[in-house]
Amino acid sequence: MHSILVNDLQIIIASLVFAALSAYNFFAFSEFSNHNKIDEINFIDNIILFSMLWIINSIFIVLTFLYRSVLINEYIFFIVFILSLIVAITILIASINFIKNKKLKAFPFLPVAIIYILSSIFVVLVKVPIHLIFDITLYMYITASIIYVIFAFRFRKIRIQIGLIYNIGGIITIFFVNILESLLGSYAVSTIYIALSVFLNVGFFLFYCELYFMDIKEKINNIEYKNQQLTTAKKQIQKLAFYDPITLLKNVYTLKEDLKSNQDNFNYVMIVNIENFKSYNNLIGYEKGNYILEEVASNLKSLLSGEEEIYRFHSDKFIILINNNEIYVLNLINRIISLFNTNLFSNVSLNPYIGVSQLTQSKDFNSIIRELELTSQYVKKRRLSYCFYNDFFFDDFKYKLMLETDLRSAVIQKPWLLHLQPQISFKDNKIIGAEMLIRWKNNDTYISPETFIPIAEELGLINEIGDSIIETAFLYLRQLNDLGYDKINISINLSPYQLMAKKFTENIMIKAKKFSIKPENVTFEITESSLIHNIEKVNRIMSELQDMGFYFSLDDFGKGYSSLFYFTNLNLDEVKFDKTFTHSLPHNEKNLILLNSLTEMCRKLNVKIVIEGIENEEQYSCFKRMNCDYYQGYYFSKPISIDEFIDLLKQSN
């Protein structure tokens, strides 16, 4: 036993601290293995192996001190030594297992384990003097360091670097011990050695702590960041679910929910549509379109008091729930209309059309929306600016639906009649031809072509209908030609969709051949609406057919927004003045002046003028005086059957 007890106590305390630190490092390392950044397969297993080696190492050192301090005898030393050997063998088996299972990460520990085992066996078998253990440990550290250096360069993994630091630390320590031992004597050196080992372990301890807390901090930061992201995402989802992302107004879903829970609180619902917004959108681009919608939304919102709720329904439709009386609603409509009248949205002038419906408890979401849509359609069609819902809109809607069904079967059965309305020359009052007008009697009621032709266009049935009209027109011409009327012209109304259809020209050519008709006996009537579609294409088709000998007439001139543009851009053979224009004369002086100059212009451009809808002597004389070419109208004859037309031809000529 040594005389200086304090030293022994020092050694025991230091050893315990050392062992505690080692144990802590073991746990710290296992914990650390959860570190996401060095998330490797079986990292945790490797760490356990590594830490176990470390513990053995620590036991070695502790044993050495205890032995040197003569606190344990040689047998206990060997027993503990053999126990560590067993642990080392276990590690070896585990390492081999890892390698077998291709968990190559365990590989660096295999040589280390082997060195430990071999050196332990060597110590036991050769009964190495205890002072040599230091040297053995030194070699062990050196060998392990070399292995770690190789792997540190190869894999650049943090655990290998840690191993390297640890081993180099070991080497330095032993060197110090050796030098100091010769300088200071064994007890002092032991104390220094322990201090250094403790220092080394404390270093590691702090290093792990740092890593550990860094990891925790990072994890916390990560969690905070993810939480933040989650909250933002949640907010966004909520916004997307309940709000419209462009205008930031509430969306349809919210409208539905609000109506479900709060319908009693509102007594009117209003829809504000923007006229032709889709066309603007195509013209100016979606981004600018969206910007306009934003502007409209915020302006509309500024008109409302806190009592109303506004929603973006669909693209260019806004819905407002109102809790007020009819006078207030009318006032709001006026304010909305004047908002659009006095404001440009991104330099674009927009027109609203508004539908209003009364909210009652019995109406569900779908019927409310249907009422608003029907009212909107009514307002748009009649070119009004607003309207309150009326039940007859729904009857109209049902009627249209019914008509659609009937029209589909009519296309197959072709129940229509094709009437001819004579066209007369002002010059000699002779019939020069006729316009083909379709007649459809459905369930004993006459349906105007102005009603069903647009529906047929909408349903894509117009080409089939148009085809049979052309075929009948050519058949009539054949009949007339056969009767000797070979100068008679037939005018055929064309829908813009027919003109746009594939192989329209070829189709006409085939039919003309089939009935051996002369193209110069046929005039195709087109309206301005055909030209809006694609003027270049219309022009091309017109030219193809005109080259074959067919004529083209611009129908309904003076009805809508007629433009002189078509006179210069299309090669027209004829222009037909609409009956609304006809009926304005002779009393509308401005129209009279207009007609005067138009006839002058047409004459110069070699375009024939047909006046439509002449109903009386007064109109007849007026247009005759104006030197117009031809006319048609009830004054001479209503549209009649082919047989009646032939009779009329026979009588008049």
* Positions in the binding site for Mg ion (CB under 5 A): 493, 525, 555-556, 612
User: Are the CB atoms for 375 and 356 separated by under 8 Å?
Assistant: yes
Residue 519's binding partner among ligand C2E, Mg ion, none (Cβ under 5 to 8 angstroms by kind) is: none
Rounded Cα–Cα distance for residues 22 and 1 (Å)? 28
Residue 276 engages ligand C2E in binding (rule: CB under 6 A): no
Task: Locate 325 and state its tokens.
Answer: 């009386």
Residue 495 engages ligand C2E in binding (rule: CB under 6 A): yes
Residue 138's closest CA among 169, 107, 162?
169
Residue 61 engages ligand C2E in binding (rule: CB under 6 A): no
Residue 544 engages ligand C2E in binding (rule: CB under 6 A): no
Least Å distance between CB 491 and Mg ion?
A: 7
CA distances 449 to 131, 417, 462, 467, Å, are 118, 11, 11, 16
User: Are the CB atoms for 12 and 71 separated by under 8 Å?
Assistant: yes
Least Å distance between CB 438 and Mg ion?
A: 11
Instruction: CB nearer to ligand C2E: give 409 or 529.
Output: 529
Touching ligand C2E, residues 390-429 (CB under 6 A): 421
Instruction: CB nearer to Mg ion: give 52 or 628.
Output: 628
Residue 646 engages ligand C2E in binding (rule: CB under 6 A): no
12 torsion bin: left (phi>0), alpha (psi -120 to 50), beta (else): alpha
Count the site residues for ligand C2E by CB under 6 A. Answer: 25
Rounded Cα–Cα distance for residues 167 and 165 (Å)? 6
Burial tier of 446 (Cβ tally within 10 Å: 0-12, 13-18, 19+): exposed
Q: How many CA atoms lie within 13 A of 559 on its CB side?
A: 15
Measured at the CA of 554, the angle between CA 483 and CA 565, to 5 degrees, comes to 155
Rounded Cα–Cα distance for residues 469 and 436 (Å)? 8
Residue among 153, 199, 565, 634 that touches ligand C2E (CB under 6 A): 634
Amino acid identity, position 524: F
Residue 205's closest CA among 386, 398, 58, 45?
58
Instruction: CB nearer to Mg ion: give 177 or 477.
Output: 477
Q: Can you list the alpha helix ranges (DSSP code H) found in 365-523?
A: 365-381, 391-413, 449-459, 462-482, 496-500, 504-514
Residue 95 engages ligand C2E in binding (rule: CB under 6 A): no
Residue 437 engages ligand C2E in binding (rule: CB under 6 A): yes
Q: Can you list the alpha helix ranges (DSSP code H) found in 33-129?
A: 43-68, 74-100, 109-125
Instruction: CB nearer to Mg ion: give 574 or 612.
Output: 612
- Judged by CB under 6 A, which stretch of 29-37, 206-214, 396-404, 442-450 contacts ligand C2E? 442-450
Instruction: CB nearer to Mg ion: give 95 or 632.
Output: 632
Within 10 Å of residue 399's Cβ, how many Cβ atoms?
12
Residue among 78, 178, 449, 511 that touches ligand C2E (CB under 6 A): 449
Least Å distance between CB 465 and ligand C2E?
A: 7
Q: Can you list the alpha helix ranges (DSSP code H) found in 243-285?
A: 252-262, 277-284
Instruction: CB nearer to Mg ion: give 181 or 555.
Output: 555
Beta bridge partners of 445: 442
Residue 579 engages ligand C2E in binding (rule: CB under 6 A): yes
Least Å distance between CB 403 and ligand C2E?
A: 15
Task: Locate 566 and state its tokens.
Answer: 């078509």
- Judged by CB under 6 A, which stretch of 49-57, 358-366, 436-444, 531-539 contacts ligand C2E? 436-444
Amino acid identity, position 313: F
CA-CA-CA-CA torsion sign (54, 58, 61, 63):
negative
Residue 574 engages ligand C2E in binding (rule: CB under 6 A): no
Residue 580 engages ligand C2E in binding (rule: CB under 6 A): no
Residue 575's binding partner among Mg ion, ligand C2E, none (Cβ under 5 to 8 angstroms by kind) is: none
User: Are the CB atoms for 631 and 595 separated by under 8 Å?
Assistant: no
Residue among 300, 350, 387, 438 that touches ligand C2E (CB under 6 A): 438
- What is the H or E stretch that residue 163 is in? helix 158-184
Least Å distance between CB 576 and Mg ion?
A: 5
Rounded Cα–Cα distance for residues 167 and 362 (Å)? 85
Touching ligand C2E, residues 611-630 (CB under 6 A): 612-615
- Judged by CB under 6 A, which stretch of 55-63, 376-384, 399-407, 610-618 contacts ligand C2E? 610-618
Residue 433's binding partner among Mg ion, ligand C2E, none (Cβ under 5 to 8 angstroms by kind) is: none
Least Å distance between CB 596 and ligand C2E?
A: 22
Instruction: CB nearer to Mg ion: give 120 or 423.
Output: 423
Rounded Cα–Cα distance for residues 465 and 442 (Å)? 15
Residue among 137, 493, 523, 591 that touches ligand C2E (CB under 6 A): 493
- Judged by CB under 6 A, which stretch of 92-100, 249-257, 589-597, 633-641 contacts ligand C2E? 633-641
Rounded Cα–Cα distance for residues 320 and 516 (Å)? 62
Instruction: CB nearer to ligand C2E: give 355 or 422.
Output: 422
Instruction: CB nearer to Mg ion: give 137 or 421.
Output: 421
Least Å distance between CB 630 and Mg ion?
A: 13
285 by DSSP, 3-state: which?
coil
Residue 448 engages ligand C2E in binding (rule: CB under 6 A): yes
**Residue nearest ligand C2E (C-beta atom):** 633
Contact residues toward ligand C2E (CB under 6 A) are 421, 436-438, 448-450, 453, 466, 469, 493-495, 525, 555-556, 579, 612-615, 632-634, 639
